[in-house]
Amino acid sequence: MQRFTCAVCASALFFENSRCLACGTQLGYHRGERIIAPLDDAGVYRDLQGQQLRRCTNLALSGCTWLVREDGDECFSCTLTRTRPEDHDTTGLAQFLDAERSKRHLIYELDVLGLPIEDRIQNPERGLAFDLLSSVEEKVVIGHQNGLITIDLAETVDSHREKMRAKLDEPYRTMLGHFRHETGHYFEGTLVFSDPEVTDRARSIFGDDRASYKDAIKRHYDEGAPEGWEKNHISMYATMHPYEDFAETFAHYLHICDTVDTALQYGLASGPGPNSTEDFAVVVRETWIPLSVALNQVNRSMGANDLYPFVLPPAVIAKLDFVHKLRVRVGEPADGTTTA
Ligand SMILES: [Zn+2]
Ligand SMILES: [Zn+2]
Ligand SMILES: [Zn+2]
């Protein structure tokens, strides 16, 4: 995440800020210019093209600060949400606000990495869309199908998520992590399965995705991960099926790129960043490992759990490099400030 400052008073800003806490200026996120822009008293920002922009209509509903052209419009991130809790579901709507915050963070990072998204208007069959569903009254299963991602909003509740994390014996479980994992399935569809040659290479690294998914789920929940899984997989869940291995790897690729980018921006790390055209092994070895070890130590100093409770064996680093090369191939070179 880039380092944002207030254009009026130069105070530090977080990506989510709708107002500068130091000087009171109203703020909005400009997706094209990738800045947090100051608004005038009428709530308007005039951009580099002279266009008048105002905040997304969902500011009160979901805390969205993204800028739009017309009063009452939804921004790009908000339009990707196909289903949200009903107006009377106050519990679901409070959870929806948290989930949308994570989703905007995801979309921001995909933009920075130059990973192209098609919505359901551009591609009605396979475009990206989200059903953010309240499980207050019905059971919701998190998952992805042909670009449509379903998220259980109860996962925004710390006690529920922690219970699930412990039950599934996972070292890490967050809402942003769910979004990253599920979009991994979407990008495997658009970047891997769209090209037979890339598909073959993916199969040689992650295994044959034509294996029965139904059998894989049954085996995973009956028997758990195979002995010695740590040598080839980032998580136990990744061992279930090649689809899940790719999605887990993709999520870790986004975790690492975003955290490295943030650390470089704040002067907490040195070495090659996400835009490096080197093998991702170099980014991992020179930037990520020293940084994540230091951050784990920092967390331990605060009595908290490790920030990155994972080990990256060579086979997993090779999988991360596969994702990196896919992305560098399609991605527009993003703003080069963090490239070493
Ligand atoms: Zn300010
Ligand atoms: Zn919005
Ligand atoms: Zn999955």
Pair 252, 185 in one domain = no
Which of 143, 161, 194 is the C-terminal boundary of a domain? 194
Task: Determine the distance separating the centroid of ligand 2 and the alpha carbon of 9, expressed in angstroms.
Answer: 25
- Which pair of structure tokens corresponds to residue 315? 């086979």
Pair 297, 219 in one domain = yes
Proximal ligand: closest to the CA of 104: 2
Proximal ligand: closest to the CA of 10: 1
- CA 262 – CA 264 distance, rounded (Å): 5
Which of 194, 214, 248 is the C-terminal boundary of a domain? 194
> Is there a contact between 252 and 310 (Cβ–Cβ < 8 Å)?
yes
Task: Determine the distance separating the centroid of ligand 3 and the alpha carbon of 114, expressed in angstroms.
Answer: 22
Pair 256, 287 in one domain = yes
Task: Determine the distance separating the centroid of ligand 2 and the alpha carbon of 77, expressed in angstroms.
Answer: 6
Q: How many structural domains are present in the chain?
A: 3
Pair 86, 28 in one domain = no
Per residue in 223-237, pLDDT (tens digit) is: 999 999 999 999 999
Whole domain around residue 86: which residue ranges? 80-194
> Is there a contact between 256 and 320 (Cβ–Cβ < 8 Å)?
yes
130, β-bridge pairs = 81, 149
Split at pLDDT 50, 70, 90, the class of 241 is: very high
Task: Determine the distance separating the centroid of ligand 2 and the alpha carbon of 21, expressed in angstroms.
Answer: 21
Residues in CB range of 324: below 8 A, 6 or more apart: 253, 279, 280, 283
At 339 the pLDDT is 31
Residues with CB under 5 A from ligand 2 (ion): 56, 58, 64, 66, 75, 78
> Is there a contact between 17 and 65 (Cβ–Cβ < 8 Å)?
yes
Q: What is the DSSP string of 258-272?
A: HHHHHHHHTTS--S-
**Rounded mean pLDDT of 260-285?**
95
Task: Determine the distance separating the centroid of ligand 1 and the alpha carbon of 27, expressed in angstroms.
Answer: 9
Proximal ligand: closest to the CA of 23: 1
Which of 167, 194, 221 is the C-terminal boundary of a domain? 194
Task: Determine the distance separating the centroid of ligand 1 and the alpha carbon of 6, expressed in angstroms.
Answer: 5
Per residue in 83-131, pLDDT (tens digit) is: 999 999 999 999 999 999 999 999 999 999 999 999 999 999 999 999 9
Per residue in 4-40, pLDDT (tens digit) is: 999 999 999 999 999 999 999 999 999 999 999 999 9
- Residue matched to tokens 């960043």: 273
- Does pLDDT of 304 surpass 90? yes
Proximal ligand: closest to the CA of 183: 3
